[in-house]
Amino acid sequence: MARILTRQDVQKALPMPRAIKAVRDAFVQLSAGRADVPLRTALDVPRHNGVTLFMPAYLSVDDQMALKIVSVYDDNPDKGLPLIHALVVVVDVETGAPAAIMDGTYLTALRTGAASGAATEALAPPEARVAAVFGAGAQGRTQLEAVCAVRSIEEAWIYDVESERAGTYADEMADRLDVGVRVAETPAVAVGSADVICTATTSSRPVFDDADVQPGTHINAVGAYTPEMQEIPSQTVLRAKVVIDHHEAALAEAGDLLIPIDQGVMTADHISAELGEVIAGDASGRESSEEITLFKSVGVAVQDVAVAAAALEAAQAMDLGTDVPL
């Protein structure tokens, strides 16, 4: 028997604060060498302007295993479809049998938001009150939700190249989070007063100007996941303390870091630490109120394993989902 969990089941089972805790613990295990995480396998589908990724991982401390299959098809929004489709299979580590099959589309947004929540908790100014989000999609929604879960955000700005999407986002998130959410007409408006910036786009060029980033800002950069994609200006990367999710993955896929390295303006030594090291106290986090901190994440499968396992455990306790024979 395997339990099938829909998007609604996952949403009911795992609120953001619990997802943040699960991801935080997973990052600590990853940085401590207590996780087996092969680099994800990517199958490009240029005929349909998409890519499908296969992401397995095993967390040895928690004894949890899962595989995520996630597709990113750039033409989908024009077809009225989600940019990202995903499925997660949780594996019973004692028998190797599939324990659960669940929607991975929402789970991907949830675990990505949770990673930024963990990073914001560890690196952002404690007094942060204003957030800015770039990208009005599903990822942008969980980014703001996660930041609000760990900081007392009073005002948020949303910027998207499609103003109508930004307006819909602002109305929805203001109602959901009871926070004032305003549409920024320009990136400079969004960035200028922000204590925390989240970028969740598929842009191949920086989405704001370095000159607009104020001292003390914390940035979560989660959208660019290939060497060719770049959301953060190279100048901002250079003047920030850079914390990443995983060295191997970041140096293979993070265009926000690889592009300035290829330009010869930075080396990999500029990376300060992995987030798991900061959380565990093995590396320094924010060291002054004026310091700019940057969390660069390309997404690591330990996030999916931790969140999927937590969702399954909660769903079983809440009697959510459907058990089916395979």
For residue 304, what are its two tokens?
A: 């999916």
Nearest to 217 by CA among 194, 245, 235: 194
Task: Say which residues have a Cβ less than 8 Å from residue 33's Cβ, sequence separation at least 6.
Answer: none
pLDDT at 225: 87
pLDDT tens-digit series, residues 150-208: 999 999 999 999 999 999 999 999 999 999 999 999 999 999 999 999 999 989 999 99
Which secondary structure element, helix H or strand E, spans residue 272, and what is its range?
Answer: strand 271-274
pLDDT at 141: 97
145 contacts 113 by C-beta, under 8 angstroms: yes
Question: How distant is the alpha carbon of residue 135 from its chain centre?
Answer: 13
Residues of the chain with CATH 3.30.1780.10: 2-108+302-324
Which secondary structure element, helix H or strand E, spans residue 183, and what is its range?
Answer: strand 180-183
CATH architecture of the domain with range 2-108+302-324: 2-Layer Sandwich (3.30)
Nearest to 147 by CA among 295, 299, 301, 277: 295
pLDDT at 310: 98
pLDDT at 317: 97
* Model confidence, pTM: 0.93
Question: How distant is the alpha carbon of residue 85 from its chain centre?
Answer: 15
* CA Rg value for the chain: 19
SS3 annotation, 194-260: CCEEEECCCCCCCCCCHHHCCCCCEEEECCCCCCCCCCCCHHHHHCEEEEECCHHHHHHHCHHHHHH
Concerning whether 68 is annotated as a catalytic residue, the answer is: yes
pLDDT at 102: 98
Q: Which residues of the chain have pLDDT under 70?
A: none
Residues of the chain with CATH 3.40.50.720: 125-300
pLDDT at 82: 86
pLDDT tens-digit series, residues 122-140: 999 999 999 999 999 999 9
CATH architecture of the domain with range 125-300: 3-Layer(aba) Sandwich (3.40)
Indicate which residue of 21, 68, 79, 241 is catalytic.
Answer: 68
